């Protein structure tokens, strides 16, 4: 059900906004309900000071700078910052008047709302950064598009989307301030190289040599910022390419194996099943039936 009156906690210190709001008083037994959300371009005098908040909320800084005091602890806001709060957690948010904040937010309620944040990221009262700000922004934009439609399916769609958002944030979480470090810049350079050269790259040793980064350090960077090894990232890209070739070309499995850098079809099939859960022949058969 759509709310007819704009929430009084929406700030007026905004120069531009896309915001939606639904039922501000969802049923107590509802599992997960998105109450409202949006994207706000903050004015130079933007400042929010609350002792508590009635819903569980995630905010994401897309552009600009500002300051945040969350639960009594001060933090700096910059692009890529995410933070969460809810009942009993005080918030003081202020925009830098010279580099005004542009930030997304979503507010949720329900019996699973608190556990959704607690199990993923950011946890209530926590401040983190994401290594994939464009992906997080895209998920927020999807929430806003569906929230503004207000169809009979909106509530269920938004509940699924906010779970996807929480999982994506957890997947791409990095410590606050990491995005500005030399280590993160090195990780990004190596990740971009893998994505550009994954068709010809075969080993982490080749990647290490091409990027002029010691192999052990390279592995530490990927586990810290990407939550996987560089080889796992390379293998996923290769197997995504393989899946596309198997479904959209007339090439045999052994030909796809060679094209994705595998010496024989046996090792290729084992790697394909490890990533996709099916042998190449089963994958092709299922695609043809579809």
Q: How far is CA 105 from CA 10, 17, 257, 268, in A?
A: 11, 11, 45, 43
- Quick check: 210 pLDDT over 70? yes
pLDDT, residue 90, reads 96
Rounded to whole angstroms, the Cα distance separating 197 from 267 reads: 21
Condensed to tens digits (0 to 9), the pLDDT of residues 157-171 reads 999 999 999 999 999
pLDDT, residue 287, reads 64
Q: What is the DSSP string of 12-60?
A: S-EEEEEEEE--SS--TT-S-EEEEEEEEEE-TT-EEEES--SSEEEEE
Rounded to whole angstroms, the Cα distance separating 245 from 15 reads: 48
Q: Which CATH architecture has domain 181-289?
A: Orthogonal Bundle (1.10)
Comparison of pLDDT for 51 and 250, the residue scoring more: 51
Q: Which of 61, 118, 45, 44 is nearest to 85 (CA)?
A: 118
Domain parsing of the chain, residue ranges: 14-175, 181-289
Q: Binning pLDDT at 50, 70 and 90, where does residue 1 land?
A: very low
Comparison of pLDDT for 121 and 10, the residue scoring more: 10
pLDDT, averaged across the chain: 91
Task: Assign domain 14-175 to its CATH superfamily.
Answer: Regulatory protein AraC (2.60.120.280)
Parallel/antiparallel/unpaired status of strands 127-130 and 33-42: unpaired
Mean pLDDT value of segment 44-56: 95
Condensed to tens digits (0 to 9), the pLDDT of residues 226-249 reads 888 999 999 999 999 999 999 888
- In sequence order, which residues have a C-beta less than 8 Å from that of residue 31 and are 6 or more positions away? 110, 111, 112, 159
């Amino acid at each position: 059900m759509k709310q007819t009156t704009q929430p009084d906690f929406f700030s007026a210190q905004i120069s531009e906004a896309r915001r939606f709001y639904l039922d501000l008083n969802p049923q107590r037994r509802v599992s997960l309900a998105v109450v409202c959300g949006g994207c706000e371009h903050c004015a130079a005098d933007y400042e929010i000071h609350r002792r508590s908040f009635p819903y569980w909320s995630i905010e994401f800084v897309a552009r600009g700078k500002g300051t945040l005091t969350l639960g009594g602890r001060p933090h700096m806001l910059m692009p890529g910052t995410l933070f969460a709060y809810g009942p009993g957690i005080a918030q003081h948010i202020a925009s830098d008047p010279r580099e005004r904040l542009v930030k997304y937010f979503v507010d949720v309620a329900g019996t699973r709302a608190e556990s959704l944040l607690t199990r993923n990221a950011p946890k209530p009262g926590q401040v983190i950064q994401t290594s994939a700000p464009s992906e997080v922004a895209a998920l927020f934009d999807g929430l806003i598009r569906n929230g503004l439609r207000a169809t009979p399916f909106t509530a269920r769609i938004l509940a699924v989307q906010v779970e996807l958002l929480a999982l994506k944030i957890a997947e791409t979480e990095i410590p606050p301030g990491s995005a500005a470090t030399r280590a993160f810049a090195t990780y990004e350079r190596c990740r971009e190289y893998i994505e550009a050269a994954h068709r010809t790259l075969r080993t982490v040793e080749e990647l290490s040599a091409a990027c002029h980064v010691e192999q052990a350090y390279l592995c530490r960077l990927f586990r810290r910022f990407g939550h996987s090894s560089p080889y796992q990232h390379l293998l996923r890209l290769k197997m995504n390419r393989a899946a596309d070739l198997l479904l959209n070309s007339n090439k045999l499995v052994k030909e796809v194996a060679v094209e994705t850098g595998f010496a024989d079809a046996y090792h290729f099939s084992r790697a394909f099943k490890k990533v996709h859960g099916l042998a190449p022949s089963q994958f092709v058969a299922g695609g043809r039936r579809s």
